[in-house]
Structure formats: C-alpha cells, structure tokens
Amino acid sequence: MNKLHVSARMKIRKGKLEGFKQQAAEIIRQTKEKDSGTLQYDWFLNSDRTECEIREVYESSEALAEHKHNLRKALGRLFEEFAYDHDVVVYGDLSPQLLEGARIMMPDVEIKVYSFLQGLESGREARRDLNGDLP
C-alpha cells in the first residue's frame, strides 16, 4: 500500500459557512491546477453544516508534501477565518520526516497514523505473486 489515504475533520466557525464554502472551492481549484499526485480530494458537510470532513488520497508521502506546500496559503486562510478544531487521520506509510514536519507546523492538530495491516487487495496480490494469476 504505497498510497496515502487521509481523513481530515474540522468545525466551521459560526456564521462563516458561505465563506468556508468559497474558500473550499478555491482550495479545490488550486489542487486541480497545482498538484501532480493528488488522486482524491472530496469535501463533505455534516447535516447541520457545522463540520466538514475531507477524504484525500495521495500517490505517496511526497505527493502529500507537495499538496501541503502548494496549498499552504489557501489552507492557512481557511483556518484563520473559517474553520477550527482540526484533526487528521492518515492511513498508510507516512514518511517520518513529513509527520514530524506536520506536527511542528500544526502543533494544535491531532494527527493519527495507521499502518496497513491487511485487506482484500493484499490477499489477491499475494496470491497473484505466488501463483502468477488469481485462482
């Protein structure tokens, strides 16, 4: 599992939903234009529109680092003006350097990292490696 899957959550400041939505659209626009390794970047609002969750997939740790570099100003504005109480969960093998840098740059953000254990694809790939083809 070389890809990194990320789930980021945040709360939207009271009275700032429209600004939040506009800034989200700007961040997505910049992601499309600037990033080379972002595979998924989907934003979701809860039913009362007070919280947002972003589902992200990156080709690698380097692609996630590129994304954070490309979007640092736009994301900074998002948290300065429109959002707070941010936490991040990373699924995959995040480079130790990127994790350390993220914790230094975002000391108030809870970052959890989970390494891949097992799944449907890993079993298929293992059988393919051993037998050449899936049974």
pLDDT in single tens digits along all 135 residues of the chain = 589 999 999 999 999 999 999 999 999 999 999 999 999 999 999 999 999 999 999 999 999 999 999 999 999 999 999 999 999 999 999 888 888 888 887 888 899 999 999 988 765 555 454 555 544
Look up the pTM and report it: 0.83
Domain boundaries, the chain: 4-131
Distance CA 49, CA 38 (A): 26
Burial (CB count <10 Å: 0-12, 13-18, 19+), residue 11: middle
Q: Give me the CATH topology for the region 4-131.
A: Alpha-Beta Plaits (3.30.70)
